[in-house]
A and B are shown apart, each in its own frame.
Chain A
Amino acid sequence: MYTTPSDTDIIQQVLKGGQQAYATLVERYQNYVFTIVLRYVKSREDAEEVAQDVFIKAYRSLADFKGTAKFSTWLYTITTTTCITFLRKKKLEVHSLDNEKVFVVADNIDGGMSANQVEQKSKVNMVNEAIKLLSPEDAQVITLFYKGEQTLEEIAQTLGKEVNAVKVQLHRARTRLKDKMQKHFSAEVRDLN
């Protein structure tokens, strides 16, 4: 019976010289990493470049992975720092958590998007679109919690914050998401109901 190798087993294999085994880790986490990067970097080309950089950095520092935390937590930490470095290099504006300007900027990004341009009129797609309108920090905490299979403790470790701070951040992010949905997609929600 074939069992899927654990992240730790694959890492041990890579560290012993089995470089090709790393492809399994890349396959396993590429969507998670790419999604988180897209929360920071809006262009898909740039996001792909940054996501690749994340996996290259992770490979280079693989010997430093102690296994005390999950590999995904360690990888998401690299993802976050790589995204911030990329934005700094590009001199793009990094939005702060409580900065109300975030919403102005996000609304401007969304400026050209009318209700008709929402690709599919399903609630899930609306949630996805609404997540894109959030600040990178809000979008990231939601992605880590719902899609990254991370507990609040692990997210706190990834973001270098206290667990309570992450709890508050997650709550605020969800409230803002709800506001975004009401503001931008209320008509679609009514149509669906």
Chain B
Amino acid sequence: MSTTINNEFSHDEEMEARIWAYIDGLSEEKSFIEQLIRENAVWRAKYNELVELNQLLHATELEQPSMRFTKNVMEEISKIQIAPATKEYINKYIIRGIAAFFITVIVGFLIYGFSQVNWSAGNASKHAGIDFTQVDYSRMFNNTFVNLFMMANIILGLMLLDRYLSSKKKQWQ
């Protein structure tokens, strides 16, 4: 019994959903729905019911605030200023600089890493021809080159922190 009710309900729901899509002009089976409404009494009755509700919904009126509403808003905004656009907070050159820096670092590491590989050593069948045991990682992370990059990174980080804190300070003022 409950299965029958559930089936009937889901069928009814599906029918309503298809009719609503047709009423909203969003149906992809327009002519088929039109045919069903024309030929099937159940579909026609449901369509009439939903069309009436749709018309009532279109006929509903909006609520109105008090007469002083606009005046109140204008009085309030006269005390404040429009905030600058969010995008203006961020300097494009800084973003591009950081992006360029990281791309350079990644490319640098890749070039350096690959240059350290002894391509002729080891068994070619292992790890697609690369013997990772041959890579000297200690040399990659222990030289002036890496230290310089680290320093530059720290300086850029401090610059960003400084910008962030000064913008926060401006907001508080």
Q: A35-B62, A142-B57 are in contact. Are A14 and B69 (CB under 8 A)?
A: no
Is residue A19 within 8 Å, beta carbon to beta carbon, of the partner chain?
A: yes
Interface SS of chain A: helix
B64-99 toward A: CB 8 Å interface, digit per residue (1/0)? 111001101110111011111110100000000000
Stretch at the interface among A74-82, A110-118, A171-179: A171-179
Is residue B26 within 8 Å, beta carbon to beta carbon, of the partner chain?
A: yes
Is residue B56 within 8 Å, beta carbon to beta carbon, of the partner chain?
A: yes
Is residue A70 within 8 Å, beta carbon to beta carbon, of the partner chain?
A: no
Q: Are A152 and B26 in contact (CB under 8 A)?
A: yes
- CA gap between A15 and B82 in the complex, in Å: 8
- CA gap between A52 and B74 in the complex, in Å: 10
Q: How many A-B residue pairs have CB under 8 A?
A: 105
Q: Are B62 and A178 in contact (CB under 8 A)?
A: no
Q: How far apart are B155's CB and chain A's nearest CB, in angstroms? A: 31
Interface size class of B (residues with CB under 8 A): 20 to 34
- List which A16-55 residues lie within 8 A (CB) of chain B: 19-20, 22-23, 26-27, 30-32, 34-35, 38, 47-48, 51-52, 55
Q: How far apart are B160's CB and chain A's nearest CB, in angstroms? A: 22
Q: How far apart are A166's CB and chain B's nearest CB, in angstroms? A: 11
Q: Are B58 and A146 in contact (CB under 8 A)?
A: yes
Q: Are A26 and B73 in contact (CB under 8 A)?
A: yes
- CA gap between A70 and B56 in the complex, in Å: 26
Chain B residues with CB under 8 A of A161: none
Stretch at the interface among A2-10, A91-99, A101-109, A122-130: A122-130
Q: Are A128 and B82 in contact (CB under 8 A)?
A: no
- Across the A-B interface, give the 10 residue pairs with the lowest CB-CB distance, nearest first: A31-B62, A63-B85, A34-B65, A35-B63, A127-B56, A35-B62, A55-B73, A146-B57, A26-B70, A59-B77
Residue numbers of A with Cβ under 8 A of B are: 14-15, 19-20, 22-23, 26-27, 30-32, 34-35, 38, 47-48, 51-52, 55-56, 59-64, 123-124, 127-128, 131, 142, 146-147, 152, 167, 170-171, 174-175, 177-178, 181
- Interchain Cβ contacts under 8 Å between A and B, 24 examples: A19-B77, A19-B78, A22-B73, A22-B77, A26-B74, A30-B70, A31-B62, A31-B63, A34-B65, A47-B65, A48-B66, A56-B73, A56-B80, A63-B84, A124-B61, A127-B60, A128-B61, A142-B57, A146-B60, A147-B60, A152-B26, A174-B53, A174-B57, A181-B53
